[in-house]
A = this chain, B = another copy of it.
Amino acid sequence: MRISEEMVKHIQAIIKKTGYIPNRAAASLRTGRTHVIGLIVEDIANAFFASLAKSVESVAAKVGYRVVYGSTENDDGKGNDLIQLLAKQVDGFLITPSTGMKAGVQALKKTRKPLVLIDRYFPDEEIPFALVDNYGGVSQATEYLIEKNKKNIAFVNVALDQVQMNERERAFVDVMSRRGLFHKKLLLRLPYYQDKTQYEPRIRSFLQKQPGIDAIIFATNYLGMFGIKALKDLDIAIPGKVAVLSFDDTDLFRFSSPAISVISQPVQEIAAQAMRLLLDQMNAGPKKKAADEGVLVPPQLILRNSV
């Protein structure tokens, strides 16, 4: 301590009296660091991403970082704009990329800006990522339904061609095929709609065409949400006639009657791992290179009354 306690007090009194607040824009201009992390998610209004954002925020706050968000809504243009917009204003990125953001993400990586992908990744790119074990989660759920003696299990997916959705479907197809239960007609792939209400009629007509279904796995929370609505509209008893399981846990599934069984993502853990990988990069000096590591976090199968 080279400065006397007295002086410290004196200065702090002045700071308080004059209401001095340092200008971060100036500090950032000088140091090149902003102490802000950019979090780009698919849709901040979706329960999964909202809770992911909250977790990231709390982990980041502990190490002195703030977080700014943006939603891509799976629109490549919007996503790439967000990268552009935030690039100079954040010390690092946490990104949920849509398929078409690959070029943007590659370009970002070339600039050596710290970057971690979450929820999904590019299998052929060496970019660190943190996400749930999608394949494992759906495998376990499918096995469970088969053990419960279900024969005609349907899988409802969204045709985004993103790795996490592909893995969920691949797990379903693999397990079902292994047991000789796979039929193509039990696989429903719907387009990605901004307006999620459009899923309800689509799922309803699928259910009407496939009356033999005795269980359904929904690949996302919004598919599950509107799928349940479709089932109720058609007066199909859950789980009496059809057992139901969905990816992602939300209030709606917990509060639904019957409560819906889910493959739950450990959001806290995903956020913590992603931040760890990001901090690794941000703190890595020019010599020691941060590891191009990918982390797969195990999901949790939560059984409720819908199966």
Contact = CB atoms under 8 A, between A and B. Distances in A.
Interface string A248-259: 000110011100
Interface residues of A, number: 37
Contacts of A257: 232, 257
A89 B88 CA distance: 14
Nearest to A232: B257
Contacts of A87: 21
A102 interface: no
Nearest to A254: B229
Given A44-B54, A45-B54, A225 B26 contact: no
A191 interface: no
B51 A21 contact: no
Main secondary structure on A side of the interface with B: helix
B107 A85 contact: no
> How many chain copies?
2
A189 to B, nearest CB: 23
A270 interface: no
Interface string A58-89: 00000000101101000000000000110111
A55 to B, nearest CB: 10
A228 interface: yes
A225 B53 contact: no
A23 B29 contact: yes
Interface string A229-258: 100100000000000000000011001110
Contacts of A111: 19
A251 B255 CA distance: 11
Contact of A23 (B23, B24, B88, B251): B88
Contacts of A21: 84, 87-88
A198 interface: no
16 contacts: A19-B107, A21-B87, A21-B88, A24-B88, A25-B34, A29-B29, A44-B53, A44-B54, A45-B51, A45-B54, A50-B50, A57-B71, A69-B69, A232-B257, A251-B252, A252-B255
- In the A-B complex, list the 3 residue pairs whose CB atoms are closest, starting with the nearest: A25-B25, A25-B28, A25-B29
Given A19-B107, A25-B25, A45-B54, 6 more contacts: A24-B25, A25-B89, A29-B29, A44-B53, A54-B71, A68-B68
